[in-house]
Amino acid sequence: MVSISKTTVIQRIWENFYDLLNTNVSTVTATDSSEHAVQRYASAFPDAAVTTKASLPIIIVESPELSWQDFTLTKKWVNGTITIDVFTTKAEVADKMTDDVVNLIETGRDNLRDLGVDMVNLDSSSKEELFRGKIKVHMKSITFTWRYAFTKTQTY
């Protein structure tokens, strides 16, 4: 985990979520006993990379979205969301990987709180099916909300 400041909120929030997933979510086993290992972690969907079923699963940690809100006379809240997308060839695998991601972030809230990121909550999830050539891809998106406090820049 890397420290966060008001000048690095977007990049460091992304990096902390990415590192948390990259080091802890790797493989799930489907009910047919087939194992599905994450082939790639990224910040955006790699268009050229998905040419075969073996290119999946992929986990995408999107760049955070944020807004500011006054907190005290000297502090502001950064209210943010971060979306994580799971792309697989089986709906069951998408669900299992999503469960792993949700559990990991829920149990990793203390680590995030130590960095000043609190109120981390699952906000929403959605699913979609799409085709990449002849490959049917199951996508699961999960969005988490969070907040971070920082000291305002003083102006006179």
pLDDT in tens, 104-117: 999 999 999 999 99
Q: What is the pLDDT of residue 103?
A: 96
Quick: pLDDT tens for 27-68.
999 999 999 999 999 998 877 767 788 889 999 999 999 999
Q: What is the pLDDT of residue 132?
A: 84
Q: Which sequence spans correspond to the domains of the chain?
A: 9-151
Cβ-Cβ contacts under 8 Å for 36 (sequence gap 6 or more): 27, 28, 29, 30, 57, 88, 90, 93, 97
Tokens of 34: 């087939």
Q: What is the pLDDT of residue 49?
A: 62
- In angstroms, the CA 13 to CA 117 distance is 8
**Residue range 9-151, CATH number:** 3.30.2000.40
Q: What is the pLDDT of residue 134?
A: 86
What confidence tier does 156 reach under pLDDT thresholds 50, 70, 90? low
